[in-house]
């Protein structure tokens, strides 16, 4: 594996871990908010509506992150190669 391929793999792996950490934190925080505000809803229909809305947010955000990661995997060499090229150029210009 060349140095560039290793750097690309490292950046990609880091982005994937950060994205999944965001998803996990989102699910945990939405669960906490649902638990903490459960008794504030005026009726059971309001709780059901709030749960459905929260579930929709979770499902759509999770699906969007998965689609983003799939796109990153497909174009990984181009995107990260370009990033590395500009990072190296900025580092060289800085001194």
For the chain, give every domain's residue range: 3-94
pLDDT tens, residue order, the chain (95 aa): 579 899 999 999 999 999 999 999 999 999 999 999 999 989 999 999 999 999 999 999 999 999 999 998 899 999 999 999 999 999 999 87
In this prediction the pTM is 0.81
Q: Distance (Å, rounded) from C-alpha 41 to C-alpha 48?
A: 9
Asked if 80 and 12 touch (Cβ cutoff 8 Å), the reply is yes
């Amino acid at each position: 594996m060349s140095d560039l391929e290793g750097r690309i793999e490292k950046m990609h792996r880091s982005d994937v871990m950060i994205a999944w950490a965001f998803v996990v934190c989102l699910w945990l925080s939405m669960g906490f908010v649902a638990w903490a505000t459960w008794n504030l809803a005026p009726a059971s229909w309001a709780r059901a509506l709030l749960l459905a809305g929260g579930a929709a947010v979770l499902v759509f955000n999770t699906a969007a992150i998965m689609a983003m990661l799939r796109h990153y995997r497909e174009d990984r060499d181009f995107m990260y190669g370009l990033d590395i090229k500009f990072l190296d150029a900025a580092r060289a210009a800085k001194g």
